[in-house]
């Protein structure tokens, strides 16, 4: 018998998980049931978007085998070419010795899916591809408060209610940066699995140099996921610091903090600095009759779309996307203006508050192309 | 699926391969590979100029336990690492040390150490500097105070430790039959140097890995925690409970420390010249110290940098209702305005039950870490 932790090392290290599930992908109940330890076997056909096809099998005993098919596209100068990507991911705690038996169980479903997908796949025509031309991008992350560069630990900021405060820590993930082509289609940054971690105290994290070869052309806008999508927000995917220290407790939903924004505030009536931890991640739904009982989880990640960000990628040239987090939006909105004096000291077990903060988050970023 | 298995099997085999080739015909130390425990970090802090070898570890273990490393053979002035770092106490000295009453070590001249002891396990995953304030770190402008290796010469010369000098130490070790041969095997030279003494001991210390507690078995799905332990675990992992995990890790960080520095609300006046501020120069680090691992807590009393808490119960009482406000308290101590997390007596008992699941009893009797036969 293979030693379970040893055999799983490979999968942890490979981190071989699908990159794209589409922004509107809906997750089956069984995925959430996995967290609750439910035993289920589910065949599920999910979102069929314009560019992305997701089909997933979840076969669960203690955990899951997750098999995905999705279309990806490679962008050349003149056309988009679709192809099908097939990936298998074996989630942790899966008993490898039961793999053959499990494969037999899912085999009929697998055949069904292959039958659904393959007829829809067309081979490329025989014309040779025009020589693809690519450029590159680098991304710079800035942090401002009302137009002023952030200074940590400085009691220099205020909310709309005249509470003054200092910001002590700012750490967050962004992922799935998509560059939207003029005329349709998009290119999604794939370097580092499309995930980047930013820490205000780690200057190196303020620059990201994706290795992606970006097809040349006109781009209208860019978008990205703030935090990590449900597909990517996998517990234990980052074993090492600093990303590791963003982990979100499993019983609260698992995965990672999307953001830690730690601050301390005071006002005329509360002269002693008091902490406020604006932590975002998977939210929980609590049973109203048993307040300690979690009955569901909420994926709070959200898409930030920056419409006024047109730019051109030229072959062999580098563009810098300067993304600025305007921190006042987290506190003052719109749409929600928070009075720090009335806020709880932490919100990671407060889904309504996390939701309200996430609504503000959609307007937090601005971008400039250089 | 068959193809998948065909690909995976050789890949798994590759992953498990270890380096075995020697580096030369006359000097052929045997490479030593640290097996990373389940869910532990993958990035090890092993300096490029001191790779782990079986011979280096063996030599380091002997030096760790050999009082002559202090450069003295007189029983009154002999001191070694193991004088304070007892395996039975998870390589701290413990409250019941026969010499260091209350767990506060002192050197051969009787001068107490500036701080109480901190954990010396799982240091191969420390990247933020060693000691309570992290003053031994790779970018330190002081070139001899950068790595785990450097703590050896520092201990030899420190007045509150061996109060000796490295020339005496290396001369004495050189004169002991057997040691030159061991240095030759480990480092390719029979000449004893302070640098190689530090390298050897650091190699041994990097093998002190504790990852076999009940909680580790729980993570691996091998045992279940009791209801009380699980209750404590929930409190440990929730912001509205004890909120311990932000600084001390958990299932996502099984080191049970971030190895970062926090002012955790113990005091309102700060006079210690060895806090984190003295290293970083950042005023927000005033009164801050490294969060120690909580593994093997049962063996490692007293607690905190100044050993002010003698029992786990005292620590839990402090975090429950004893926090002291200052403007330097880390914002993660968000219960500060209510004096603590206000856990009830039952909740504190559950928390303690959980903390005791971090006890690795096999580690403290592992013969690989015990005192060896000395030359």
For residue range B109-146, list pLDDT tens digits in order.
Answer: 999 999 999 999 999 999 999 999 999 999 999 999 99
- Is there a single domain that holds both residue A112 and residue A159? no
CB contact under 8 A, A272 and B327: yes
Label residue A12 by pLDDT band (50, 70, 90).
very low
Asked whether B156 and B71 are in contact (CB, 8 A), the reply is yes
- Is there a single domain that holds both residue A36 and residue A106? yes
Query: Of the candidates B210, B243, B268, which is a domain's last residue?
Result: B210
- Is there a single domain that holds both residue B339 and residue B266? yes
Quote the CA–CA distance of B333 and B306 in Å, as a whole number: 19
Task: Specify the higher pLDDT residue, A92 or A162.
Answer: A162
Whether B81 is covered by a domain: the verdict is yes
- Is there a single domain that holds both residue A149 and residue A234? yes
What percent of chain A is predicted at pLDDT more than 70? Answer: 64
- Is there a single domain that holds both residue B144 and residue B221? no
Task: Specify the higher pLDDT residue, A47 or B175.
Answer: B175
Which residues have C-beta within 8 Å of that of residue B21, sequence separation ≥ 6?
A: none
- Is there a single domain that holds both residue A236 and residue A107? no
Whether the CB of B308 is below 8 Å from some CB of chain A: the reply is no
What percent of chain B is predicted at pLDDT more than 90? Answer: 90
- Looking at the structure of chain A, the number of domains it has is 2
Beta bridge partners of B277: none
Whether A128 is covered by a domain: the verdict is no
Q: For residues A204-213, give the mean pLDDT.
A: 94
CB contact under 8 A, A10 and B220: no
Whether B83 is covered by a domain: the verdict is yes
Whether A103 is covered by a domain: the verdict is yes
Whether A127 is covered by a domain: the verdict is no
Residue B263 sits in which domain range?
Answer: 214-356
Task: Specify the higher pLDDT residue, B308 or A128.
Answer: B308
Q: Find the closest chain A residue to B35 by CA distance.
A: A6
Asked which of A11-25, A326-340, B219-233, B264-278 is least confident by mean pLDDT, the reply is A11-25
Q: Find the closest chain B residue to A271 by CA distance.
A: B327
- Give how far B287 is from chain A: nearest CA, Å: 15
| The pair of three-digit structure tokens given for residue A142, joined into one six-digit string | 């800035």
Whether A126 is covered by a domain: the verdict is no
What percent of chain B is predicted at pLDDT more than 70? Answer: 93
Quote the CA–CA distance of B115 and B136 in Å, as a whole number: 15
- Is there a single domain that holds both residue B189 and residue B218? no
Count how many residues are written for chain B: 375
- Is there a single domain that holds both residue B146 and residue B274? no
Quote the CA–CA distance of B96 and B268 in Å, as a whole number: 30
**Tell me: the pLDDT tens digits for B45-84?**
999 999 999 999 999 999 999 999 999 998 888 999 999 9
A342-367 b/e with 16+ CB inside 10 Å = b?
ebebbbbbbbebbbbbbebbeebbbb
Residues in chain A within 8 Å Cβ distance of B11:
10
Q: For residues A305-329, give the mean pLDDT.
A: 93
- Give how far A11 is from chain B: nearest CA, Å: 10
Q: For residues B180-187, give the mean pLDDT.
A: 96
CB contact under 8 A, B259 and A169: no
C-alpha dist (Å) from residue A146 to A174, A308, A330, B30, B60: 22, 20, 11, 59, 56
Question: Does residue B330 have a cis peptide bond before it, meaning omega lies within 30 degrees of 0?
Answer: no
C-alpha dist (Å) from residue A359 to A285, A333, A353: 18, 8, 10
A115-151 b/e with 16+ CB inside 10 Å = b?
eebeeeeeeeeeeeeeeebbbbbebebebebeeeebe
Q: For residues A216-234, give the mean pLDDT.
A: 95
Whether B189 is covered by a domain: the verdict is yes
Domain CATH for B247 = 1.10.760.10
Asked which of A19-28, A263-272, B233-242 is least confident by mean pLDDT, the reply is A19-28
pLDDT value for A127: 53
Whether A125 is covered by a domain: the verdict is no
- Looking at the structure of chain B, the number of domains it has is 2
- Is there a single domain that holds both residue A152 and residue A293? yes
CB contact under 8 A, B239 and A349: yes
pLDDT for residue B351 is more than 60: yes
pLDDT value for A309: 86
Whether A129 is covered by a domain: the verdict is no
- Is there a single domain that holds both residue A182 and residue A304? yes
Residue B345's φ and ψ, nearest 5 degrees, are -60, -40
pLDDT value for A5: 32
Beta bridge partners of A214: A135
pLDDT value for B369: 98
Whether B365 is covered by a domain: the verdict is no
- Is there a single domain that holds both residue B346 and residue B260? yes
**Tell me: the pLDDT tens digits for A238-260?**
999 999 999 999 999 999 999 99
Whether B95 is covered by a domain: the verdict is yes
Which residues have C-beta within 8 Å of that of residue A147, sequence separation ≥ 6?
A: A326
Whether A113 is covered by a domain: the verdict is yes
- Is there a single domain that holds both residue A167 and residue A301? yes
- Give how far B295 is from chain A: nearest CA, Å: 17
Q: Which of B234, B249, B252 sits opposite A235 (nearest CB)?
A: B252
Whether B20 is covered by a domain: the verdict is no
Query: Of the candidates B187, B210, B233, which is a domain's last residue?
Result: B210
Query: Of the candidates B210, B243, B260, which is a domain's last residue?
Result: B210
Residues in chain A within 8 Å Cβ distance of B38:
5
CB contact under 8 A, A251 and B234: yes
Quote the CA–CA distance of B19 and B331 in Å, as a whole number: 45
Task: Specify the higher pLDDT residue, A33 or B112.
Answer: B112
Q: At what angle do helices B54-65 and B194-206 cross, to 10 degrees?
A: 100
Quote the CA–CA distance of A171 and A155 in Å, as a whole number: 19
Beta bridge partners of A148: A145
- Is there a single domain that holds both residue B177 and residue B270? no
Whether the CB of B10 is below 8 Å from some CB of chain A: the reply is no
Label residue A40 by pLDDT band (50, 70, 90).
very low
- Is there a single domain that holds both residue A187 and residue A214? yes
pLDDT value for B296: 98
Whether the CB of B346 is below 8 Å from some CB of chain A: the reply is no
Interface with B, mutate which of A103, A164, A239, A267 (most B CBs under 10 A): A239
Which residues have C-beta within 8 Å of that of residue B303, sequence separation ≥ 6?
A: B297, B309, B310, B312, B314, B315
Q: For residues A263-285, give the mean pLDDT.
A: 94
Question: 3-class SS at B218?
Answer: helix
- Is there a single domain that holds both residue B191 and residue B223? no
- Give how far A348 is from chain B: nearest CA, Å: 7
**Tell me: the pLDDT tens digits for B6-47?**
444 344 444 444 443 344 456 889 999 999 999 999 999 999
- Is there a single domain that holds both residue B73 and residue B191? yes
Query: Of the candidates A61, A92, A120, which is a domain's last residue?
Result: A120
Whether B14 is covered by a domain: the verdict is no
Quote the CA–CA distance of B266 and B291 in Å, as a whole number: 13
- Is there a single domain that holds both residue B196 and residue B248? no
Task: Specify the higher pLDDT residue, B20 or A234.
Answer: A234
Whether A111 is covered by a domain: the verdict is yes
Q: For residues A110-134, give the mean pLDDT.
A: 53
- Is there a single domain that holds both residue A48 and residue A70? yes
Q: Which of A107, A273, A277 sits opposite B327 (nearest CB)?
A: A273
CB contact under 8 A, A276 and B251: no
Residues in chain B within 8 Å Cβ distance of A152:
284
Beta bridge partners of A64: A60
- Is there a single domain that holds both residue B99 and residue B244? no
CB contact under 8 A, B239 and A279: yes
pTM across the whole model: 0.79
Asked whether B15 and A10 are in contact (CB, 8 A), the reply is yes
Label residue A156 by pLDDT band (50, 70, 90).
confident
Strands (E), A39-194: 41-48, 53-60, 64-75, 80-90, 134-145, 148-149, 157-158, 164-181, 186-188
- Is there a single domain that holds both residue A157 and residue A94? no
Asked whether B192 and B200 are in contact (CB, 8 A), the reply is no
Nearest partner of A195 among A213, A217, A214, A172, judged by Cα: A172
pLDDT for residue A13 is more than 50: no
Interface with B, mutate which of A201, A345, A353 (most B CBs under 10 A): A345
pLDDT for residue A224 is more than 80: yes
Label residue B362 by pLDDT band (50, 70, 90).
very high
- Is there a single domain that holds both residue A164 and residue A68? no
- Is there a single domain that holds both residue A96 and residue A138? no
Quote the CA–CA distance of A313 and A309 in Å, as a whole number: 12
Quote the CA–CA distance of A332 and A162 in Å, as a whole number: 11
Classify strands A318-326 and A134-145 as parallel, antiparallel or unpaired.
parallel
- Is there a single domain that holds both residue B233 and residue B314? yes
Residues in chain A within 8 Å Cβ distance of B248:
none
ipTM for the predicted complex: 0.88
Q: Which of B15, B253, B331 sits opposite A168 (nearest CB)?
A: B331
CB atoms within 10 A of CB A191: 14
Average pLDDT value for chain A: 74
Average pLDDT value for chain B: 92
Looking up tokens 């009929």 gives A108
Whether B254 is covered by a domain: the verdict is yes
- Is there a single domain that holds both residue B183 and residue B63? yes
Quote the CA–CA distance of B86 and B369 in Å, as a whole number: 10
What percent of chain A is predicted at pLDDT more than 90? Answer: 56
Task: Specify the higher pLDDT residue, B92 or B98.
Answer: B92
Residue A143 sits in which domain range?
Answer: 134-369
Interface with A, mutate which of B124, B331, B338, B344 (most A CBs under 10 A): B331
Q: Where are the alpha helices (DSSP H) in B207-239?
A: 214-219, 227-236
């Amino acid at each position: 018998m293979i030693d379970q932790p040893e055999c799983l090392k490979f999968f942890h290290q490979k981190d071989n998980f699908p990159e794209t599930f589409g922004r509107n992908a809906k997750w089956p109940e069984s995925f959430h049931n996995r967290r609750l330890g439910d035993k289920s076997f589910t065949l599920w056909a999910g979102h069929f978007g314009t560019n992305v096809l997701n089909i997933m099998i979840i076969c669960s005993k203690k955990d899951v085998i997750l098999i995905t098919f999705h279309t990806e596209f490679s962008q050349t100068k003149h056309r988009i070419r679709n192809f099908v990507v097939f990936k298998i991911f074996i989630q942790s705690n899966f008993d490898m010795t039961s793999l053959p038996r499990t494969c037999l169980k899912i085999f009929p479903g697998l055949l069904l899916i292959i039958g659904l997908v393959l007829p829809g796949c067309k081979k490329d025509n025989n014309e040779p591809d025009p020589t693809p031309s690519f450029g590159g991008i680098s991304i710079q992350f800035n942090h401002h408060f009302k137009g002023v560069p952030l200074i940590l630990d400085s009691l220099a900021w205020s909310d709309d209610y005249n509470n003054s405060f200092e910001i002590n820590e700012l750490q967050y993930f962004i992922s799935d940066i998509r560059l939207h082509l003029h005329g349709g289609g998009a290119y999604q940054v794939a370097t580092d699995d499309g995930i980047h971690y930013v820490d205000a105290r780690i200057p190196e994290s303020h620059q990201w140099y994706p290795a992606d070869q970006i097809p040349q052309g006109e781009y209208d806008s860019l978008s990205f996921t703030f935090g990590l999508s449900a597909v990517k927000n996998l517990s234990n995917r980052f074993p090492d610091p600093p990303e590791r220290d963003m982990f979100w407790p499993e019983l609260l939903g698992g995965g990672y903090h999307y953001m830690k924004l730690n601050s301390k505030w005071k006002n005329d009536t509360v002269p002693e600095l008091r902490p406020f931890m604006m932590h975002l991640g998977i939210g929980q739904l609590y049973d109203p009759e048993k307040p300690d009982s979690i009955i569901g989880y909420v994926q709070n990640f959200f898409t930030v779309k920056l419409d006024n960000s047109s730019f051109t990628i030229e072959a062999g040239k580098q563009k810098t996307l300067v993304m600025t987090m305007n921190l006042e939006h987290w506190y003052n909105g719109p749409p929600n203006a928070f009075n720090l004096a009335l806020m709880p000291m932490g919100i990671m077990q407060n889904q309504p508050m996390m939701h309200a903060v996430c609504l503000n988050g959609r307007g937090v970023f601005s971008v400039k192309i250089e | 699926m068959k193809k998948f298995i065909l690909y995976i099997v050789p890949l798994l085999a590759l992953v498990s391969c270890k380096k075995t080739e020697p580096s030369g015909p006359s000097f052929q130390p045997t490479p030593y590979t640290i097996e990373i425990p389940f869910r532990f970090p993958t990035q090890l802090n092993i300096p490029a100029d001191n790779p782990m070898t079986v011979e280096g570890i063996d030599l380091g273990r002997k030096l760790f336990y050999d009082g002559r490393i202090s450069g003295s053979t007189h029983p009154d002035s002999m001191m070694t690492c193991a004088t304070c770092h007892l395996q039975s106490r998870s390589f701290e000295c413990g409250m019941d040390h026969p010499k260091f009453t209350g767990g506060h070590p002192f050197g051969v001249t009787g001068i107490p150490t500036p701080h109480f002891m901190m954990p010396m396990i799982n240091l191969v995953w420390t990247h933020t500097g060693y000691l309570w304030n992290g003053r031994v770190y790779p970018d330190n402008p002081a070139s001899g105070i950068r790595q785990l290796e450097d703590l050896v010469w520092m201990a030899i010369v420190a007045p509150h430790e061996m109060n000796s000098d490295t020339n005496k130490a290396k001369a004495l070790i050189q004169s002991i039959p057997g040691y030159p041969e061991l240095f030759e095997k480990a480092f390719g030279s029979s000449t004893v140097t302070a640098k190689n003494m530090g390298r050897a001991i650091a190699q041994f210390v990097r093998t002190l890995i504790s990852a076999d507690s009940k909680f580790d078995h729980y993570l691996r799905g091998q045992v279940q925690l009791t209801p009380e332990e699980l209750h404590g675990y929930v409190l440990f992992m929730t912001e509205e409970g004890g909120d311990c995990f932000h600084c001390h890790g958990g299932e996502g960080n099984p080191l049970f420390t971030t190895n970062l520095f926090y002012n955790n609300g113990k005091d309102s006046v700060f006079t210690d010249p060895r806090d984190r501020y003295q290293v970083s120069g950042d005023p927000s680090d005033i009164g801050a110290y490294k969060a120690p691992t909580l593994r093997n807590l049962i063996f490692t009393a007293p607690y905190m940098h100044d050993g002010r808490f003698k029992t786990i119960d005292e620590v839990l009482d402090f975090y429950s209702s004893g926090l002291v406000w200052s403007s330097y308290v880390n914002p993660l101590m968000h219960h500060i305005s209510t004096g603590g997390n206000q856990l009830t007596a039952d909740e504190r008992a559950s928390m303690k039950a959980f903390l005791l699941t971090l006890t690795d009893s096999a580690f403290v009797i592992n013969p690989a870490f015990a005192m060896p036969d000395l030359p």
